[in-house]
Structure formats: structure tokens, C-alpha cells
């Protein structure tokens, strides 16, 4: 029993660390566009994003239930060793991609880590392939939807405001960008923080600390606080990539990208589907840029990001599998 207590404690600490890293890794998703267009001062943007990430994380637990219950067939197939290994895989990948300023999906990383650890411990019998398919479909489909809807939103804005001078339009949309960035920060918290909530709740369920898969209030508060603190640290490396290297944003295009991203992500939250905020924001910026001019998008940078997206799940699955063996050696 003391060992079980220690393992559960380790899971919670690692899950909160994952949330913290997710906060500064994905800060760019909420504020990169508004910072790059100078609609808001970076420090003010960070503070706003941290507060709204916290509020968003407290909104619901539907995504947490999807992450915790749909990847594995049953909590009985999962123990603390598996969850620790999965979190280690996701954390390592997030830190590596952050260091190289490459936007990648924390959601993909976590799902890949769980899949790899379960495969080497329980085998394919422990995986819920229907649930995994649904999750991967939402992760892949959401950026494609964001590209399409981003292009549509930007086209509509061009039609409505095309006759106005660029200087007057940019001045007005700088103020509106603050609103859209706030919406983006809230939607980011409503979806991303729930992933670690689901992992912590799964660990509590498998350890017998709770009887049914319902996210305890203290887990919600811990996850929301960890993400808010991580957001407050900031993710300047990735902000530069998302905010400027894909497409040169102006206030009106930054507003369109944020509004579109917030709508897609929050819709996914309402449907209890996990999505990658990194993918959605990047897809929105690509769609907005395409609406202006297809060759205005730096497709070389976009291609590098897509490669990182494709590699995330297999790489984190491998790291999760290796981590499982190491965890088993440490906690025999």
C-alpha cells in the first residue's frame, strides 16, 4: 500500500508537470497572433491567457472522460507504471519540440505515450481501438476543418471590409483581437487542461481511490492551476513560429485566425472531443493566409510542422514503451 500511494503521488506530480509544460508550450496558441500584430503587450497577453486558461479548465470534464476512458478498454488494464511511462513520454516530447521551437501537439504526445506503454505491458487487448480511432480522427480532422473555416471567415471579412482603408481597419481590429485572443485562451483551457485531468482520474480509479470515472473537484483545480502557471511562464520560442513564420499577420487576419480557432476548439469541447490547439491555430492561420493569397503562406514552415505532427504519436509511443521498462525496473 505505501508503494501504491507513492506511485499515485508520482502520477499526479507528473500529470501536473505535463499540464505546466503544456501551459508554456501552448501559450502561443492563445496569444501569438495578438502579440505578433502588437494588439496587446506580451506581458498583458500572458496574464490574460493564464487567467482565462484557468477558467476554461474549470468549465467541464467531458474531454477528460474521453481521454481517460476511450484509449484503454478498462481501468483494470492500466496501472500506475503505465500511466507514469505515458506521461514521461509526452513530457519529453513536449520539451524537445519546445526547445527546437517546433509547434507540436500535447494531445498527440499524451495519446501516443499511453498507446506505447499499454502495448508493451498489456498488448493490443488493452487498447480500445474504436475510442483511439475517434480521438485520432478528431485530432486529424480539426486542423483540416480549421483551414477551411479560416479561409471562409477571412473571405467574408474581406468582402465586408474590403472598401475601407487598411489603416482604419487595422486600428479597429487591434481592439477586437484582444477579445478574440481572450476567447482563444478560454477555449484552450476548456480542452487542453482536461487531458491531464483524465489521466489523473484514470490513475485514481485504477488505484481504487474512486469508484467511478468522475473527475474530482480537487483534480480540476490542480490541473487548471498548473496550466495557468505554465501559461504565465510563457512560450516565446513557439510564439515566434506560430505568430510570424507561417504567414505575416495583420490585425484583421489575426482576429479571423483567433475567432476561427476558438470556435473550432470550443465546439470540440462541447462534443467531448480532444483536439490539438496547436494544430487548430496553425490550420486557422494557413486558412486565413490562403484567403488572401495562397503563396502568402510559408508552406515550407507549414510542411515542417506537419512532419512534426505526423511523427508525434509514433515517437511518443516509442518513448512511452521504453519508459515503461525503465519505470518497471525502478519500481519493481
Give residue-wise pLDDT tens across range 278-303: 788 888 888 888 887 767 666 666 67
Query: Around 152, how many Cα atoms within 13 Å sit in the side-chain half-sphere?
Result: 8
Q: What is the C-alpha separation between 226 and 329, in angstroms, rounded?
A: 29
- What percent of the chain is modeled with pLDDT above 70? 86
CB 37 within 8 A of CB 43: no
The answer to whether 93 and 132 have CB atoms below 8 angstroms apart is no
pLDDT at 284: 87
For residue 240, pLDDT over 60 is answered with no
Section 130-141 average pLDDT: 85
**Count of H-run helices and E-run strands, the chain:** 13, 0
Three-state SS for 35? helix
Distance CA 115, CA 126 (A): 9
Q: Would the pLDDT of 153 be above 90?
A: yes
| pLDDT classification of 138: cutoffs 50, 70, 90 | confident
What is the rounded CA–CA span in Å between residue 98 and residue 24? 9
With residue 77 as reference, give the H or E element that holds it. Answer: none
Whole-model pTM: value is 0.82
3-class secondary-structure state, position 127? strand
* Residue located via cell numbers 521551437: 101
The helix-helix angle for 251-270 and 129-161 (nearest 10°) equals 150
**One-letter-per-residue 3-state SS of 67-83:** HHHHCECCHHHCCHHHH
Position 197 pLDDT exceeds 80 = yes
- Residue identified by cell 513536449 is 94
Retrieve residue 164's grid coordinates.
475601407
Which residues are paired to 127 by β-bridges?
72
What pLDDT sits at residue 243?
Answer: 46
CA separation, residue 296 to residues 6, 73, 102, 245, 259 (Å): 53, 46, 20, 11, 20
**What is the average pLDDT score of the chain?**
81
Lookup: cell for 289: 493566409
Give me the helices (H) in 162-235, please.
166-206, 217-233
Mean pLDDT of 147-159: 92
pLDDT (mean) for 297-317: 75
Q: How many CB atoms lie within 10 A of CB 212?
A: 6
Q: Which residues contact 258 (CB under 8 A, 6 or more apart)?
A: 33, 34, 177, 180, 181, 183, 184, 284
The position carrying cell 496574464 is 47
Residues in the chain: 332
pLDDT band with cut points at 50, 70 and 90 for residue 73? confident
Amino acid at each position: 500500500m505505501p508503494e501504491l500511494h507513492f506511485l499515485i503521488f508520482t502520477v499526479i506530480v507528473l500529470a501536473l508537470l505535463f499540464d505546466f509544460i503544456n501551459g508554456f508550450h501552448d501559450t502561443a496558441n492563445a496569444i501569438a497572433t495578438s502579440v505578433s500584430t502588437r494588439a496587446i503587450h506580451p506581458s498583458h497577453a500572458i496574464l490574460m491567457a493564464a487567467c482565462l486558461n484557468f477558467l476554461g479548465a474549470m468549465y467541464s470534464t467531458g474531454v477528460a472522460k474521453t481521454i481517460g476512458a476511450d484509449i484503454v478498454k478498462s481501468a483494470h488494464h492500466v496501472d500506475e507504471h503505465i500511466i507514469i511511462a505515458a506521461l514521461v513520454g509526452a513530457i519529453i516530447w513536449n520539451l524537445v519540440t519546445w526547445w527546437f521551437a517546433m509547434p507540436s501537439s500535447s494531445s498527440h504526445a499524451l495519446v501516443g505515450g499511453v498507446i506505447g506503454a499499454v502495448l508493451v505491458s498489456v498488448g493490443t487487448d488493452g487498447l480500445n481501438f474504436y475510442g483511439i480511432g475517434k480521438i485520432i480522427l478528431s485530432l486529424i480532422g480539426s486542423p483540416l476543418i480549421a483551414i477551411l473555416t479560416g479561409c471562409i471567415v477571412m473571405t467574408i471579412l474581406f468582402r465586408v471590409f474590403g472598401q475601407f482603408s487598411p489603416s482604419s481597419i487595422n486600428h479597429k481590429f487591434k481592439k477586437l483581437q484582444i477579445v478574440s485572443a481572450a476567447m482563444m485562451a478560454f477555449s484552450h483551457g476548456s480542452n487542453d487542461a482536461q487531458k491531464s485531468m483524465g489521466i489523473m482520474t484514470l490513475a485514481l480509479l485504477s488505484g481504487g481511490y474512486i469508484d467511478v470515472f468522475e473527475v474530482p473537484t480537487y483534480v480540476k483545480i490542480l490541473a487548471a492551476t498548473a496550466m495557468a502557471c505554465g501559461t504565465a511562464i510563457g512560450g516565446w520560442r513557439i510564439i515566434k513560429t506560430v505568430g510570424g513564420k507561417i504567414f505575416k499577420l495583420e490585425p484583421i487576419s489575426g482576429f479571423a485566425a483567433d475567432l476561427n480557432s476558438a470556435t473550432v476548439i470550443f465546439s470540440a469541447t462541447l462534443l467531448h472531443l480532444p483536439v490539438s490547439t496547436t494544430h487548430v491555430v496553425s490550420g486557422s492561420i494557413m486558412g486565413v493566409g490562403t484567403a488572401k493569397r495562397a503563396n502568402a503562406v510559408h508552406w515550407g514552415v507549414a510542411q515542417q510542422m506537419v512532419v512534426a505532427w505526423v511523427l508525434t504519436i509514433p515517437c511518443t509511443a516509442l518513448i512511452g514503451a521504453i519508459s515503461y521498462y525503465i519505470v518497471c525496473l525502478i519500481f519493481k
